[in-house]
Amino acid sequence: MERTIFIVTNKGAELPAHVFFILRFKLGVKRIIRVNSDEDRGGFCFRFGGDEASLYFESGDKRIALKSTDVFEKASFFYYQGSLPFSNHYQELEYFTSISKAVDISLRKFISKYSHRAIIAFPESLNFKLSNLLLAQSLGLKIPETEVFNAYKVGGKKISPINKISKAITNIYRVRTEEKLQEGPGTFRIKKLPKRAQYFTPSLLQKEVVKDFEIRSVYLLGIFYSMAIFSQNDEQTKLDYRNYNRTKPNRNVPFSLPKSIETKLESIAKELGLKFCSFDLIRNKQGNYVFIEVNPEGQIGWVSRNCNYNIELKIAKYLAS
C-alpha cells in the first residue's frame, strides 16, 4: 500500500507548497492530501484512550480516515502554519479562540504520538520566550541579562534602559489587512522610559549583546542546519537582522555550531517536544554563544536557500519513506 501524505497548512504558506511540489513532481508521490485551514471547512473527530486511536476529517473531496497503529504507519503528516479548520458557533470570539487553540495543540500532539512519520510545527503562540530563556540557562547556555517589570521604580531603584534593548515578551504583533501584513518592531533601543502611569503592562529589557555575528539554526529530526548572519556592520541590521536591508542584504553563509552547543539546543527541543524548529543565537565578541530564542514554527526557507541545504527535499524524503 502506497503511503498517504497529509499536509495541514494554510493557503499562502510557501514551505508546504514547495514540499508538495517535490513530493509530486520529483519523488512521484501520488497520494497527497493538502488541507488549508483558511478555506477547507469540514467535519473532524479524533479518538484516543480506548482500544485504538483514530482520526477522521472530511471536506468536499478531501478525506482523512485513519484508525489503529497499523493504518497510522501508512500515513505521513506535515503540519505547518495551519490547522484542521474549526467553525465558530460562539458569540464570544475570545472563548472560541481559546477552545480552538487548545484543540489544535492537542491534535498536533495526538498526531505526533500516533503517526509513524510526522513533522509537526507548533504555532508561534506557544513561544514562551521567558520560560525558554530560563530553560536554556538551566541547560548551561548563556542568555542575555533579562529583566521584566511593570513600574518605573521597584524596590527603591529606578529601572534603567542604558545599554539595554527592548523586545516583545510574546510573539511580534501582526495586523493583517486586505492590502498587506504589518508587523511591529522586533528589537529596539530606548534612551529613556516614557512616563505614562505608575504601573503598566509588563515590559522586557535585556542587556545588549555586542555581537560578532548572529546565527539562525534550523533543527530537523536530530540534525542542525545553521547559518551565520553578518549583520553587525550595517546600521540598519546591527541591532536585529530582521530589520532587513533589501538594497544591500547581509552576507549569510553556512556555519557549524560547536557540538556542545548543539547538544544543549537539542535538549531544549526535546524538552519542548519539538522535532522541527529553529534557534536564534548570537556569537559575542568574546567568542561565546548566547541563546536568544527558539521558534517553534521553523522558518527555514531563507536558511535553506542561502546555504544550499535543500531542507525542503529532506522533509519530503522523510515523509515519503
Write out pLDDT tens, residues 182-204: 455 467 666 666 666 677 778 88
Write out pLDDT tens, residues 16-37: 999 999 999 999 999 998 988 8
Instruction: Give me the mean pLDDT over the 63-89 stretch.
Output: 75
> Does residue 67 surpass a pLDDT of 70?
yes
**Residue 243 pLDDT class (50, 70, 90 cuts):** low
| Residue 56, strand partner residues | 45, 65
Instruction: Give me the mean pLDDT over the 198-216 stretch.
Output: 86
Among residues 269, 271, 232, 229, the alpha carbon closest in space to that of 251 is found at 229
Q: What per-residue confidence (pLDDT) applies to 175?
A: 45
Instruction: Give me the mean pLDDT over the 39-54 stretch.
Output: 83
Contact call for residues 7 and 37 (beta carbons, < 8 A): no
Instruction: List the domains of the chain with CATH numbers.
Output: 4-120 (no CATH), 145-207 (no CATH), 211-308 (3.30.470.20)
For the whole model, what pTM was predicted?
Answer: 0.84
Contact call for residues 52 and 66 (beta carbons, < 8 A): no
Query: 279 — phi, psi (to 5°)?
Result: -120, 145
Q: What per-residue confidence (pLDDT) applies to 70?
A: 63
Tell how strand 62-67 and strand 54-59 pair up.
antiparallel
Query: 18 — phi, psi (to 5°)?
Result: -65, -45
> Does residue 95 surpass a pLDDT of 70?
no
**Residue 176 pLDDT class (50, 70, 90 cuts):** very low
What distances in angstroms separate CA 298 from CA 23, 204, 264, one per listed residue?
20, 24, 18
Instruction: Give me the mean pLDDT over the 230-252 stretch.
Output: 64
Least confident of 23-37, 232-246, 262-276: 232-246
Write out pLDDT tens, residues 275-299: 999 999 999 999 999 999 999 887 7
